[in-house]
Structure 1
Amino acid sequence: MIRYTLKCKAGHRFDSWFQNTGAFAALEAGNQLACPVCGANEVEKDLMAPTVRPARKAVAGPVEKAADASVAETGPGAPNLRDPGTDLEAAIAALRKQIAENSEYVGMNFTAEARRIHEGDAPERAIYGEARPEDARQMIEDGLPVAPLPFVPTRKVN
């Protein structure tokens, strides 16, 4: 895994993890990268500083003795990526939590399930999932009450 610092055309900076440099290049070539703040697809690598861990002997003590465990794990000066960095990120995290608690994740079956609910073939309930852009446009044109979310749903793996 490799972490890159990225920047969109609007100047928003963010970090993202990739399987390897080839995975980043493939996503970049396919215009599949997007800014999490404004959604812009014009994203490029920004200036990055490598994270270098000290040798084991140089570490002052176990992580439990550190005043801030997140700094001890990632090194001094490293950003804390676990907590929202801005009010907007906090609001999106709260929205994600509310949606997860109050609706059913249907994954890639979102288009089919939304149509079944709209046509009365499935029980009416709140759902969320993933749809290809052309399917989402078609659902909106067909009058289905759907809206894009400002985040990508967390996929359950293994």
Structure 2
Amino acid sequence: MIKFTLKCDQDHRFESWFQSSDAFDKLERAGMVTCSICGSEAVEKAIMAPTVRASRSVAAAPTEGTKSPALTTPTTEMEQALAALKKQVEENSEYVGMNFASQARDIHDGLAPNRAIHGEAKPEEARKLIEDGVPVSPLPFIPNRKTN
């Protein structure tokens, strides 16, 4: 997708999105691009400056005199409580990834050693575990292995 600044013969300026530059040209030739203000079909691309994002290091730098906490730094009491819970779970259980459902079932059935685990499961897998009486609970955070 590309956004163009357009202007009509009445000097009205407006923006519009197109699938590509070629798509704009094709629609313009077919008379399908009209001014969003007056309806004129005499529309052309206006001179425009490209949108350029600052680099991440520049964008993330705090302005002078302000402190910018990292996005992962808990700031509220609730965020701090969730961070503490996450730390507790990760320090005291084994991450089994997408094998959570089978590992939890094996532990429940006595086929695997009894231990604390955490991981990921598809909703239908989690529902089946609960229906079968396997004691599981969803966690209110994403495991570290899934965060950037």
Cα-Cα RMSD: 2.8
Structure 2 counterpart SS, 1:138? helix
Q: 2:127 aligns with which of 134, 137, 140?
A: 137
Match of 2:88 in 1: 98
Match of 1:113 in 2: 103
* Superposed displacement of residue 83, structure 1: 1.4
Match of 1:154 in 2: 144
Q: 1:127 aligns with which of 81, 93, 117?
A: 117
* Superposed displacement of residue 120, structure 1: 0.3
- Consecutive unaligned residues of structure 2, counting only runs of 5 or more, are 1-51
Take 2:79 and 2:146, find their aligned partners in 1: how far apart are those partners? 22
**The 10-residue stretch of structure 1 (121-130 or 73-82) with the greater mean CA deviation from structure 2:** 73-82
Match of 1:75 in 2: 62
Letter in 1 for 2:133: G
Count of paired positions = 91
Report % sequence identity: 56
Letter in 2 for 1:101: E
- Consecutive unaligned residues of structure 1, counting only runs of 5 or more, are 1-49, 57-72
Structure 1 counterpart SS, 2:96? strand
What whole-Å deviation, never above 9, does each CA across 1:16-73 have from its counterpart, x for those lacking one?
Answer: xxxxxxxxxxxxxxxxxxxxxxxxxxxxxxxxxx9857xx9xxxxxxxxxxxxxxxx6
Residue pair 1:107, 1:129 contacting (<8 A) in 2 also? yes
Take 2:68 and 2:98, find their aligned partners in 1: how far apart are those partners? 33
Residue pair 1:51, 1:75 contacting (<8 A) in 2 also? no
Take 2:68 and 2:82, find their aligned partners in 1: how far apart are those partners? 19
TM-score of the aligned structures, taking structure 1 as reference length? 0.51
